[in-house]
Structure 1
Amino acid sequence: MDEVAGAIADPVRREILLMLRGGRLSAGEIAGRFPISRPAVSRHLRVLRQSGLVRDELAGRQRFYVLDAAGLTGLAEWLNRFVRPAEWEHRLDALETEVHRTRRDRRARDMADERRENTA
């Protein structure tokens, strides 16, 4: 988990992970999207590979990188200890209640307006 946390601490590596969500990319395609040198991007890719967040696939002479989101599972589970799902559930229930109340009030107001128009 520490290795994963260290890997995602860098903004370039986080951006690479986001890029790989769309599918596999070659090292050249990844490097072409950054204003840093190709060797620097290669070092970032190595850190991501060693942390288990990406894996590489060789296709001929090209190396492609693929996101391996399973590497985030341990960190996500640890972080979930700090999230209070019941608190969020309560907030979402309150929001749902307010939405229903607003819709009900709007319908009642619209019906009253319609009755006034029909009687006028």
Structure 2
Amino acid sequence: MERSVALKKVEKLLGKSFRYRVNLKAPNADGRAEARKRLEIAESAHSSVSRQLSARTSELLRGDLEYQRLSAEYKSTREKSADLRLTSSSYRFTVFVSSGFFTKVEAEGDSWEEIIDQLNRKRGA
């Protein structure tokens, strides 16, 4: 089908706001099928090597006391930081607008007065 005809049909189905892209380097159906077969083999090999690497890493680090100490400290400090990050960015009220798939936070605060003040500042009132 000619591109101009196809685009008119798509526009009729989706409306004038549709967008599209063309990838001239994309393979045809046979090329994609061949890539899927090769991908399955490559992923299997990658998974096998990954398991071997993980086992070897565990074996080497199990006996390293300094690594074990640092690892435990790292986990502890990461959890503490995550908890504090959540607490420091939590508000009692959050107002947002939803446009289907996406939501946008418009204001956050501990009282409705704070929310209204923020919205008024944003709107220039």
TM-score bracket relative to the smaller structure: 0.3 to 0.5
Q: TM-score, normalised by structure 2?
A: 0.34
Instruction: Say which one has the larger Rg.
Output: 2
